[in-house]
Structure 1
């Protein structure tokens, strides 16, 4: 059977690019030439005759499946996609998995704009028969109309690499061009999230677990009180953020974010931490380049009293190397005003250089971090070298795993004053390792439950500054 010039695409919900109707001609080209060779070695290509219909175990099912596929073939040939869809949908539980039935059902669903339903059929067909280009093209088309441009691009490029007929090459090229245009388009949008969680923090005051410390280069020993050592506590944490994007042109926009967080420890209020922030920027997209200029203001309270204000400006650049890869770079200048100790006021410059990889169900990002401080006191300022790694794995539609690793090497710029009893004349050199693993369960598209475990190991050439910290947390995120 040769599938006709599927005019039914006019019924697809939403705007339908001219390239979409041309893509359906791929069926003619492949079924008439390239796919004929595959039909001789596989039952993958749907057909309306007995020779290619898969045999079932019993005679009644054979007749029923064969007659169903014959009716579907006629309806699709006559471009009556609604009737084909209505015929096939009630029979899914009986016949899904049969390649002819899956194709007819998925194709009719796509023609009516039900791309979510079509996606499952074509994902199964493409997985079982990866050499059939028609299945891969229909899968790519479903991804495209569902807005998954990365997955659509990947499938289109794979067919393109097999050197299909010229008309198919042209159609794929038009889709790839439209994918780039969609990536660059900016639309008004708003969103946000609220999160509530609770857990246990083994060292909420980030203190050493030593009982004693040396003074005056070991001449004296001081015993630390219980309040001066690491303390554990249960806690709850609340977070919220709202954001808005306002287009300036089709490829540029302004963005704004407002957010707040609170961590409340059950043991006492001394180290409860509150944060309020606002950020905004202007983004421009040109080809594979994505550039953003932005700024941010944050204010922190510790134990209910003012702790720190931070004002920063940054520039970010992302470049898409390939459908699954992009590079990124950023430069941030921040001014930190410590409201409790002026010696801790800092002007910091930080650069990050990294890359990100994203496949259908797995993604990973990594970045090299370089930073330097200009402080009121050089013994409080430091030079930083670090590495960030983040990874996410989608197990299925509901379950996901994620992990992160943060490494830092801190070299302080000056000696601690000689009159300091604990470490006079010493220059601090420290390393931090922070690892986190987590699991998320998505109950609804907007509602996710999660649990995660993180651990911080902070090492120093001065034992007083060393500490360990473990946090176990579970919570819920609601996005909107």
Structure 2
């Protein structure tokens, strides 16, 4: 009996030690210490070959230490044991790319892209698809038609007060709830210019109707054209972008800007980036006093976690300023913001996303001096939860619940808003 107990203890200790070794190897992989991880994993091959987790980790270290052919065999074993292992499939595509098997890599990447991957994985997929298309001198196009319907508790983002400074507010200036319906269309053209450089052109159109608040029915569009430089783990872009929004059949605002960003993979599961934008916003005739030149700068980060990067956490810090273009304008302001986001892939077809942000605006001027003596200050809080269901490679359904709250010392600019909607998108590639 004692001998049996001893044998059981030895087996359990062996399993525990091996499990600890795999955890250590995974930590080394995430830290970019690939050679050390390889030294830990290779001695375990005879015991754990065929285990999808082990084969995945082994495939990764072989890929990162310059043996993509051997890596592909290990990753294929992991996928054979678990065909839905998206992380292994993504790294298999990377192994095919490193081996020069671009068509095999492209097929795997396109299949993953059609399964609604988490944001961090989507960035990696797009980088490799761009690199492959550039090497094959192949134009990529995407067309998307969308419909969205829901309910908006405050379609005009207005105060719930009925009067201000002793005057009754018009209906258009008071909080108005309404159901809504929205249609949208988007087109993307990606034209290779060299092995790493591409021309990125995008066009979007949308229209929204609010039956109980028709005075804020809107139609708009945006267009952008820019250059994008892509390499493994890094993307740089510079683009000119413009938009226009009409409300109740009249110009509400339009703008043009020059925007740039750089996004780089610091290590396997961590990306950092910077962004900047210089632009001009022009409003309709009755709102021209709000015309401003805008300057924005920020830092971004994204950390992926879980097997195959199923989850991600990210954030951004923003700072900017608005300079009025008209004398006497009170709309000069400095702004600072923070935004947090998280996502999790429950399955290849179902993902959830969460975002939360705060933008603080400090205006230079006092609004309504007859009642206020200090410059206006706004704190805009926004929170949203989005659930995505990839019905098929060509159909995507999403449900969104969003909350906004603008807290300000000037009552007429204070508002609270809740919006819930269901959208369906048809995609052609």
Give the TM-score normalised by structure 1: 0.63
Query: How far did 1:365 drift?
Result: 2.7
Query: How far did 1:383 drift?
Result: 0.8
Partner of 1:342: 288
Query: How far did 1:224 drift?
Result: 3.3
C-alpha change, 1:211 and 1:474, in structure 2 (3 Å) is same
Q: Which stretches in structure 1 are left out of the alignment for 5+ residues?
A: 1-29, 47-95, 100-109, 127-135, 150-179, 216-220
Mapped to 2, the partners of 1:385 and 1:246 lie a distance apart of 36
Output aligned runs, 1:87-102, within 5 Å: none
Q: Highest CA radius of gyration, 1 or 2?
A: 1
Partner of 2:211: 266
After superposition, give the CA deviation of every residue in 1:130-149 in whole Å (9 maximum; x if it has no partner): xxxxxx99995476345678
Mapped to 2, the partners of 1:411 and 1:229 lie a distance apart of 24
C-alpha change, 1:140 and 1:297, in structure 2 (3 Å) is closer
Mapped to 1, the partners of 2:334 and 2:84 lie a distance apart of 55
Output aligned runs, 1:383-398, within 5 Å: 383-398=334-349
Query: What's the secondary structure of 1:259's corresponding residue?
Result: strand
Mapped to 1, the partners of 2:400 and 2:220 lie a distance apart of 21
C-alpha change, 1:288 and 1:356, in structure 2 (3 Å) is same
C-alpha change, 1:358 and 1:184, in structure 2 (3 Å) is farther
C-alpha change, 1:120 and 1:34, in structure 2 (3 Å) is closer
How many residue pairs get aligned? The number is 338
Partner of 1:460: 408
Mapped to 2, the partners of 1:114 and 1:283 lie a distance apart of 33
Partner of 2:272: 327
Mapped to 1, the partners of 2:392 and 2:233 lie a distance apart of 33
C-alpha change, 1:412 and 1:142, in structure 2 (3 Å) is closer
Partner of 1:155: none
Does structure 2 retain, via aligned residues, the 8 Å contact 1:123–1:139?
no
Mapped to 1, the partners of 2:303 and 2:331 lie a distance apart of 37
C-alpha change, 1:34 and 1:255, in structure 2 (3 Å) is closer
C-alpha change, 1:400 and 1:354, in structure 2 (3 Å) is same
Which structure is higher in RCO with an 8 Å CA cutoff and minimum separation 6? 2
Matched, 1:195 2:146: yes
Query: How far did 1:354 drift?
Result: 1.1
Higher strand share: 2
Matched, 1:208 2:159: yes
Does structure 2 retain, via aligned residues, the 8 Å contact 1:122–1:139?
no
